[in-house]
Chain A
Amino acid sequence: MYTLSNKLRLLSIVLMVVGAVGLVAGFLKAPSTIDDVKEIMAAHDAHGGGHGEATTDAHAAPSHGETEAHGDDAHGGDAHYEHVLHQLQNKPWAALYVAAFFFFMISLGVLAFYAIQYAAQSGWSPVLFRVMEAITAYMVPGGIIMFVILALSGFHINHLFVWADPEVVAHDKLIQGKSGWLNGTGLVIRAAIYLAGWLAYRHFAVKFSRKQDEATDDTWYKKSFKFSAAFLVFFIYTESMMSWDWIMSFDPHWFSTLFGWYVFAGLFVSGITTIALITIYLKSKGYLEFVNDSHIHDLAKFMFGISVFWTYLWFSQFMLIWYSNIPEEVTYFITRIDDYNITFFGMLVMNFIFPLLLLINSDFKRINWLVIAAGIVILCGHYVDVFNMIMPATVGKSWFIGLPEISAVLLFLGLFIFVVFTALTKAPLLAKRNPYIEESKHFHY
């Protein structure tokens, strides 16, 4: 049995407290009037910061060639300041949303990976099942938090979703046409269905796995196999719809048909990376003595492979839109390349080039510290990827990684560590009666 060390518990609580305080400060610091905005922007100019203050409407076509000019000179009047005000008010909310979704998607990715292990009756992975089950425990608090944030956004308590603003919709033919799907009630009902389905599978899968420990035959294993296969069918549909609802609808004019797969690849690789990181951590603490180098090697192979798969989907989406150059589609990438250049290309380096070069070598996949280094870069890269998907439509050019962004990550990181490692203490670390456990223990590549 694993026991949560006081040091780790303290760390998670400190992270949560620091994150919560920072986030509250971020909300309080957000300007509430136009005068505040003027003050902030004046202060920025005084710093001589030539980083082109926010001017363009993030929701309108951003390609009107006005990228680097200082807003104050180009736009007169208060309309512009009001716009920046909305963006800056959105900033802490968007930061909260990105971090909440990022940690939720890790546990969701692990759940999908776990279901695949069962559905495929894989023989190498049962020694890692308890780690996976613990990571998916975060889905319960993480899912509830996501649901609350979604409900607040869907009913226009904050301004994250443009389509939730009745004033915007009144003047927008395209959103009007989509409002049968994109409305607060629909969003909340669908989110409830997705979350209920995922959490129900998680509940039963973990329960069956615990019961299998004490069983004399494979009944519970077979049940879990059936549940997992059914879940995977449910998952791939709901995951795809989730990605439209929770992410793609930030840019309601824009759509991409492979967006669901793209988000899936991101959450899948983040989940697998987290399994590898936590497994290596537990091994370094003397637990999981039955996990050998070959298991780490296989996880690292998945990290490498799914990173390349993610890049393939990213590029498939990018190249078609870039090549056809249709205005309503290509604005999505123009915004990102113009206003988010460093994060847009930076995440490509972190999510593709770095893991490609580091993990291509077979021997490197067995060196724990290299896997950890690659894993941390991949996780940061996918955080930036989520950031890139959400920020341009919510805060536009007023983005920077500041107090609310960092605090939100710390808050959810603390919660994640606390929930996952507490869940690890709840069951023996070896699923001892799994029919493939012997094969898994002796797994040798």
Chain B
Amino acid sequence: MASKVIHALYTDDDVLMDAVKATRKKHYHIEEVYTPFPVHGLDKVMGLPHTRLAITSFIYGCIGLTVAITMMNHIMIEDWPQNIGGKPSFSFIENMPSFVPIMFELTVFFAAHLMVITFYMRSRLWPFKEAENPDVRTTDDHFLMEIDASHNNEDELVEFLTNTGAVEIKIIDKH
């Protein structure tokens, strides 16, 4: 069955925000919103659940910290014991201050890189992937709201969207 969607284009992020609010109030289903830049607060207005990326970031940071501790313990204490700062104690805990920069850096490294990779995977992005945004103008200066139209009266919906300040409205058949 072919599903129908409506593409409503806006030229201002404030107008878009109000339109999203009004659309949600009318209980129309917003499939997606495409914007040229991140619009502050849009996720909340759309009612998207809170991102869990922060939790993954915390977990990755903990992994990085653990890797750093294990690695430094192996390299500097066990495998080839080193005299650190004139203190040949060969004990991890007594030499720990000199490992803190490495522990910090690896925590950040793991958190940052794995978080980006997670974000790409979650957003289904990879190199040479074809763009998903339906209108190239959303990469320039237009905002596009995609609304499910198969379960609503099309004319009513178009009229409603025109009133919200859309500059262009298209009805698309998705296959």
* 17 additional contacts (CB under 8 A) given A322-B85, A323-B84: A315-B97, A315-B100, A318-B97, A319-B97, A319-B98, A319-B101, A322-B97, A323-B85, A323-B97, A323-B98, A324-B85, A325-B85, A325-B86, A325-B87, A360-B58, A362-B54, A444-B41
Tell me the count of chain B residues lying within 8 A, CB to CB, of chain A.
11
Chain B residues 65 to 109 lying within 8 A of chain A, measured CB to CB, are 84-87, 97-98, 100-101
Q: Which residues of B contact A360 (CB under 8 A)?
A: 58
A440 CB to closest chain B CB (Å) equals 17
Q: Which residues of B contact A315 (CB under 8 A)?
A: 97, 100
Q: List 20 A-B contacts (CB under 8 A).
A: A315-B97, A315-B100, A318-B97, A319-B97, A319-B98, A319-B100, A319-B101, A322-B85, A322-B97, A323-B84, A323-B85, A323-B97, A323-B98, A324-B85, A325-B85, A325-B86, A325-B87, A360-B58, A362-B54, A444-B41
A325 to B84, CA, bound (A): 11
Number of A-B contacts (CB under 8 A): 20
A179 to B41, CA, bound (A): 59
A319 to B101, CA, bound (A): 10
B129 CB to closest chain A CB (Å) equals 31
A362 to B101, CA, bound (A): 26
A319 to B98, CA, bound (A): 7
Q: Which residues of A contact B86 (CB under 8 A)?
A: 325
Q: Which residues of B contact A444 (CB under 8 A)?
A: 41
Please, which residue of chain B has its CB at the minimum distance from the CB of A312? B104
A362 to B50, CA, bound (A): 11
Dominant SS at the B interface? helix
Closest 7 CB pairs of A and B: A323-B85, A319-B97, A325-B86, A322-B97, A325-B85, A323-B98, A315-B100
A381 CB to closest chain B CB (Å) equals 19
B36 CB to closest chain A CB (Å) equals 23
Please, which residue of chain B has its CB at the minimum distance from the CB of A360? B58
Q: Which residues of A contact B (CB under 8 A)?
A: 315, 318-319, 322-325, 360, 362, 444
A316 to B58, CA, bound (A): 24
B26 CB to closest chain A CB (Å) equals 24
A300 to B138, CA, bound (A): 37
A323 to B87, CA, bound (A): 9
A400 to B54, CA, bound (A): 43
A323 to B96, CA, bound (A): 11
Q: Which residues of A contact B97 (CB under 8 A)?
A: 315, 318-319, 322-323
Q: Which residues of A contact B54 (CB under 8 A)?
A: 362
A386 to B79, CA, bound (A): 41
Q: Which residues of B contact A323 (CB under 8 A)?
A: 84-85, 97-98
Q: Which residues of A contact B85 (CB under 8 A)?
A: 322-325
A322 to B101, CA, bound (A): 14
Q: Which residues of B contact A362 (CB under 8 A)?
A: 54
Q: Mark B132-171, 1 if CB is under 8 A from A, else 0.
A: 0000000000000000000000000000000000000000
A362 to B100, CA, bound (A): 25
A117 to B54, CA, bound (A): 28
A362 to B51, CA, bound (A): 12
B13 CB to closest chain A CB (Å) equals 16
A310 CB to closest chain B CB (Å) equals 15
Please, which residue of chain B has its CB at the minimum distance from the CB of A362? B54
A324 to B86, CA, bound (A): 8
A7 to B107, CA, bound (A): 49
A99 CB to closest chain B CB (Å) equals 31
Q: Mark B42-55, 1 if CB is under 8 A from A, else 0.
A: 00000000000010
B83 CB to closest chain A CB (Å) equals 12
A362 to B58, CA, bound (A): 12
Q: Which residues of A contact B58 (CB under 8 A)?
A: 360
A360 to B62, CA, bound (A): 13
Please, which residue of chain B has its CB at the minimum distance from the CB of A323? B85
A325 to B86, CA, bound (A): 8
Q: Which residues of B contact A325 (CB under 8 A)?
A: 85-87
A325 to B41, CA, bound (A): 52
A319 to B54, CA, bound (A): 30
Please, which residue of chain B has its CB at the minimum distance from the CB of A324? B85
Q: Which residues of A contact B87 (CB under 8 A)?
A: 325
Most chain A Cβ neighbours within 10 Å, of B84, B97, B101: B97
Please, which residue of chain B has its CB at the minimum distance from the CB of A315? B100
A323 to B41, CA, bound (A): 47
A322 to B84, CA, bound (A): 11
Please, which residue of chain B has its CB at the minimum distance from the CB of A363? B50
A362 to B87, CA, bound (A): 41
Most chain B Cβ neighbours within 10 Å, of A318, A322, A362: A322
A362 to B55, CA, bound (A): 11
B165 CB to closest chain A CB (Å) equals 22
B85 CB to closest chain A CB (Å) equals 4
A325 to B97, CA, bound (A): 13
B51 CB to closest chain A CB (Å) equals 10
A377 to B100, CA, bound (A): 24
Q: Which residues of B contact A318 (CB under 8 A)?
A: 97
A324 to B41, CA, bound (A): 50
